[in-house]
Amino acid sequence: MALLPTNVITRGGFTAAFLTTAVGGDTFNPGEDVFLHVKNTTGSPVVVTVANPGNVRGVAFTNYTISIPATTGDKEFGPFPPSLFAGSTGVAAITYAAGGAGVTIQVKKYPTS
């Protein structure tokens, strides 16, 4: 699992830096203003799962999953509050059904003010 870099969006803009997803999954630094942007050029839909590491104040939450359509799938989703998605090391874990070639991702952090 690789720690994905966070692209901070500013008024001056940013350069999109899509990375190929790792077959075994990736990690990222979650945040109230952090979103994932996934593109899928494979011939099949790809399910992206962001793990929820356990309970929050005694309430169990399930993992977050989203399906990225086949061929021209392009979705941005989030945010990922640390209170729900940060594991014991402070990062969030992502897995992909059919990750690898044809599935790319970037982590975006939007300004809060």
> What is the tens place of the pLDDT at every residue in 65-103?
999 999 889 999 999 999 899 999 999 999 998 766 789
Residue 106: burial class (beta carbons within 10 Å; 0-12, 13-18, 19+): buried
Among candidate residues 63, 69, 8, the one with its CA nearest the CA of residue 39: 69
Query: Which phi and psi angles does 85 have, rounded to 5°?
Result: -120, -15
pLDDT digits (tens, 9 = 90+) for 27-73: 999 999 999 999 999 999 999 999 998 777 788 888 999 999 998 89
What is 34-65 written as a DSSP string?
EEEEEEE-SSS-EEEEE---SEETTEE-PPEE
Contact in structure between 2 and 100 (CB atoms under 8 Å)? no
Tell me which residue range forms the domain holding 50: 2-109
CB within 8 Å of 12: residues ≥ 6 apart: none
User: Quick one: average pLDDT of 4-9?
Assistant: 93
Are the C-beta atoms of 18 and 39 separated by less than 8 Å? yes
Q: How many domains does the chain have?
A: 1
- How many CA atoms does the CB half-sphere of 106 hold within 13 Å? 13
